A and B are shown apart, each in its own frame.
Chain A
């Protein structure tokens, strides 16, 4: 009984923290209509800032606490709203998602830069040493503080939204922005306020969470992300349900620690919030088909089969020549670019053509590598490396098939994070690693690094030609039609369900092959290769490169592969992959074509110019 109560208290404490972060998320989402994926990172940055003020600079805790909570965090939220979010109102979900993910990654990069992970930082518990005892149960003041904070916030939010003019105005904006504008409320102001509030709540959660765990950039971010599950239980709009969900998550998590069998705590417990997130997303009503959702994206035309075959052959040839000259270290980097290119191509298919967001492409890649390792190599292994992820992809697709946009992104986020905790951590071993053999081809020595490099180039070229061929065929047209206008596709008798299922499985298979070859390239893989945050970076880079063309995918993959080199050049820049990617994406703004798209556009303009020249000349001659 005492254990139960003690665990209930600690569960309550974690639940309160989740309730804070989730409430912040809900407040920003309902008011501005934009889901802030960077919410967790804001909490993390706030906790570090608090550490900086309080521990490093010796400010008294209450002062530092209030400064972060009431000045810095709201300011950050307001600035983010003004600069990043405001231009995005009314933009399609793909754009807002990429933008806030970009912010997430930027904040991670900045945190790594300012607070390098080589020193350990500790935030002591608030009021350390003070405890109260209730019925032989020892509760420390830190826990009381968390509970008090959560109750205060819950009550104030309730009063704010029901009593204050501003709060009522905020609710009005949610219901009808135009009407609210007529009544003299500026929607931008209100939504800016909601971002400031959300940011402040994230900060509060981060600061309260940090003493309970360790002060670590990624861990803390992901912990705050656990609160997303609670927000989802409240369907992103209902605050009481959100708080209830948060308490449930905290309760289940802590009781599991006390009562569940060890295997459960090893495998499942850490993933409980993500499992709940996934389940909660499943209860979301599917988006109704709606006419008038036209996106007006202009995808570049795919080249003809002949042209893409020629380009592919040229690519392999050049890669072979380049590969024969590279140093072993650079060969590995180049190879890394090739295999990541294959994974990126899976995103071209899924997100570029199919318009579906996935934050779990590296999870599929990891499954591919795992299958390859278990199969012991060979072409059969490669086939298995495609099949296992394809099955997983189909499974995910079946469960989330009604979902699009934001909810699909959240479901894939939960899947990636849960797989990380449940599967990769154990199957690939944290710290240790799993050996992955290379495939073998008769008469070709793929164990030779240069030969393998050329092989990888050939695989990338083949995959690129394949993806482009698919784009030109009936399936590609169906995919694009479904993306451009789901309503019109339905009136042609196209089943969105089966089409999405197929493309998800196919894309997972491609990613799986990429993962298997990635393992083969380095000889082994570890669980750190397939983390959720890396999947985010991958998606963002793919977007930066332009999701519609293999060229863009290749450029994006090569820059990903080159990050270690940049890191060598700028050792003091923290984790460059986060910073560079994030800043790049933020600069992208509303542009959805990326660099590859710009190139294709320039090419098309050039061609149009030439054609009109030819016509002019012909007219002059005739």
Chain B
């Protein structure tokens, strides 16, 4: 589904990504973890086209999209949410999702009713009750769910979620986990998940990558990665400290 091939990014003196390579297979939830400042968000920006890598390639379903504008990548089935909330603050919850569904209708041949799509998705993430609230009055946790619903409205085949669980309470984050598993269940969709809530990542991911100082230091099945001494030193070590 997604291949990231030796991607490098530098900001002035800081090398934020040092030759990152990873794969997201079809129909899977892949976790991406790492300490603060490791480069996870930067990698998301490279994949979605908000950041140009100084070297390396990004392939979507085998097609090189490295030079493609963000909105064209979106049309190829790439969706995301943002760590720093990016909702449309002048619109209601429903309109936020509606706008994405309408956008999809305008560039795809799919002419499902955007209003229905929006309401269905809001029901799925559990926000139907507040769909007519303005988003600028909602707490951050709920805004993350608005972003998830909005991203789903574009019907992406690959969904990048940047810390969707932060700001959610235990029940909410459990529901989110269920939703993620459900989303990939039919095999048509993949998710790349950045999340600090280790429990959530462990539960839903079938595969895990660990990023530290801009480099992948471990990859593999969640249990296996958890045991990796390098990971414990870099990531779990710091979070335990």
Contacts and interface: CB of A to CB of B under 8 A. Distances in A.
Given A491-B70, A491-B74, A491-B80, A480 B90 contact: yes
Question: DSSP majority for the A interface?
Answer: loop
Contacts of A294: 84-87, 89
B136 A491 contact: no
Contacts of B70: 289, 487, 490-491
Contacts of B99: 474, 477-478, 481, 492
Contacts of B131: none
A480 B114 CA distance: 17
Contacts of B78: 491
Interface residues of A, number: 30
B45 interface: yes
A295 B49 CA distance: 22
Contacts of A496: 71
Contacts of B154: 491-493
Nearest to A477: B99
B201 interface: no
Given A477-B95, A481-B99, A490 B89 contact: no
Given A289-B70, A291-B45, A296-B136, A493 B88 contact: no
Contacts of B90: 297-299, 480, 483-484
Contact of B86 (A299, A488, A494, A495): A488
**Which one of B69, B89, B98, B150 has the greatest number of beta carbons of chain A within 10 Å?**
B89
Nearest to B137: A298
A482 to B, nearest CB: 9
A494 B71 contact: yes
Contacts of B198: none
A574 B78 CA distance: 59
Contacts of B80: 491
A485 interface: yes
A485 B88 contact: yes
Given A488-B82, A495-B71, A474 B88 contact: no
A473 to B, nearest CB: 9
A491 B156 CA distance: 10
A573 to B, nearest CB: 38
Contacts of A477: 88, 91, 95, 98-99, 102
Interface string B59-97: 000000000011110110011101011111111000110
B89 A493 contact: no
A491 B134 contact: no
Nearest to A473: B102
Q: Which of A291, A292, A490, A493 has the most CB of B within 10 A?
A: A493
B50 A488 contact: no
Nearest to A604: B134
Interface in B90-124: 90-91, 95-96, 98-100, 102-104, 106-107, 114
B48 interface: yes
A298 B134 CA distance: 9
A165 interface: no
Contacts of B49: 289, 490
Contact of A491 (B48, B95, B106, B107): B48
Contacts of B107: 493
B91 A484 contact: yes
B139 to A, nearest CB: 15
Given A296-B136, A477-B98, A492 B150 contact: yes
B149 interface: no
A487 B86 contact: yes
A292 B42 CA distance: 13
Contact of B74 (A291, A474, A485, A490): A490
Nearest to A297: B90
Contacts of A619: none
B151 interface: yes
A130 interface: no
Interface in A249-297: 288-292, 294-297
Contacts of B91: 477, 480-481, 484
A16 B153 CA distance: 58
Contacts of A297: 89-90
B75 A493 contact: yes
Nearest to A353: B90
Given A477-B95, A494-B71, A485 B151 contact: no
A468 to B, nearest CB: 14
Nearest to A483: B90
A475 B95 CA distance: 12
A258 B235 CA distance: 73
A493 B72 CA distance: 6
Contacts of A490: 48-50, 69-71, 74
Contacts of A480: 88, 90-91
A524 to B, nearest CB: 41
Contact of B103 (A289, A291, A493): A493
B103 A494 contact: yes
A611 to B, nearest CB: 12
B132 to A, nearest CB: 10
A488 B150 contact: yes
A615 B91 CA distance: 25
B85 A298 contact: no
B104 A492 contact: yes
Contacts of A492: 71, 74, 99-100, 103-104, 150, 153-154
Contacts of A484: 87-91
Contact of A298 (B48, B89, B114): B89
Contacts of B69: 490
B4 to A, nearest CB: 17
Contacts of A478: 99, 102-103
Contacts of B74: 490-493
A537 B98 CA distance: 37
Interface string A158-179: 0000000000000000000000
Contacts of A288: 50
Q: In this complex, which of A292, A299, A481 has the most chain B Cβ atoms within 10 angstroms of its Cβ?
A: A481
Given A289-B70, A291-B50, A298-B136, A493 B104 contact: yes
B50 to A, nearest CB: 5
Nearest to B114: A474
A164 B78 CA distance: 52
The interface centre, meaning the residue of A296, A297, A477 with most chain B CB atoms within 10 A of its CB, is: A477
Contact of A481 (B88, B104, B106, B136): B88
Nearest to A290: B50
Contacts of A299: 90
A474 B102 contact: yes
B87 A488 contact: yes
Interface of B: 45, 48-50, 69-72, 74-75, 78-80, 82, 84-91, 95-96, 98-100, 102-104, 106-107, 114, 134, 136, 147, 150-151, 153-154
Given A487-B82, A493-B71, 18 more contacts: A289-B50, A291-B82, A291-B84, A291-B86, A292-B82, A294-B86, A294-B89, A474-B99, A481-B91, A481-B96, A484-B88, A488-B88, A490-B50, A491-B70, A491-B74, A491-B151, A492-B150, A494-B103
Nearest 3 interchain pairs by C-beta: A490-B70, A493-B74, A299-B90
27 contacts: A289-B49, A290-B50, A291-B50, A291-B82, A299-B90, A301-B134, A474-B99, A474-B102, A474-B106, A480-B90, A480-B91, A484-B87, A485-B86, A485-B88, A487-B50, A488-B88, A488-B147, A488-B150, A489-B103, A491-B48, A491-B74, A491-B79, A491-B151, A492-B100, A492-B150, A493-B103, A493-B154
